[in-house]
Amino acid sequence: MYLTKKRQKSTITYCIIKSTYLKEGIGMKFKLVKLFTYNKGFTLIEVLLSIVIFSILTLGMLALFSQAMTYTQKSENDTLGVYAARNMLNFMEQQSFNTIKKDYVDALTDEGEGSTVMITNEVCPIWFNGDSDEIKKKRERCYITFSPNLNNRQLNVSVELKKHTDSTLQTSLIPMKILVEWDEGNESSLEGFITNEKLR
């Protein structure tokens, strides 16, 4: 008699536990079904706001990219200009000091109008006049130095000469300013001296 009652208690307890599990399982299943069947869409204001935010971000990135391209282009242009100017500076430093002084500088005034003279590629056939291979090479180099073509860009180089402001140095140094121009509105400059051969 005692054993029968104990078995009945165990059976009843077991059934209650299983029933609880079943109830919890049904509740979780109902919540998952409700979650996946939630199909409420976006409102028109939310869609428009998303488009506006996306447009602002896109325009900001495009502006940043454009500025980076402009800076890179300007840096490349400056590098080309400085390279052409340095090349011309080296070329002029190799020329005869006395010849340049006599032909271009001595007739200049100290200040104002007539105080400077501009040299362009027109001097090439004058400085290197002859038919020998060596003269032809020098003349060709002169033309290339005054009108270089770098990265498919045609550059025009000119040299501005003037007397030295210190009269004691006029027999030793000729100040010059190298001007480089290309495309429209792009220019670069570099200053230096033609030194007397005795000081080289």
Beta-carbon contacts of residue 36 (< 8 Å; ≥ 6 apart): none
The model's pTM: 0.63
Q: Is the pLDDT of residue 6 over 60?
A: no
Which residue did the predictor score with more confidence, 111 or 126? 126
In the predicted structure, residue 39 carries a pLDDT above the cut 60: no
| Domain residue ranges of the chain, discontinuous segments joined by + | 1-35, 83-199
189 forms beta bridges with 179
Does residue 93 have a pLDDT over 70? yes
Beta bridge partners of 150: 153
Who's near 105: CB < 8 A, 6+ residues apart? 117, 161, 162, 163, 174
Bridge partners, residue 117, by sequence:
161
For the cut 60, the answer to whether the pLDDT of residue 32 exceeds it is no
Percent of the chain with pLDDT over 90: 47
| pLDDT for 42 beyond 80 | no
pLDDT of 24 over the 50 cut: no
Candidates 63, 37, 84; CA nearest to 182 is 84
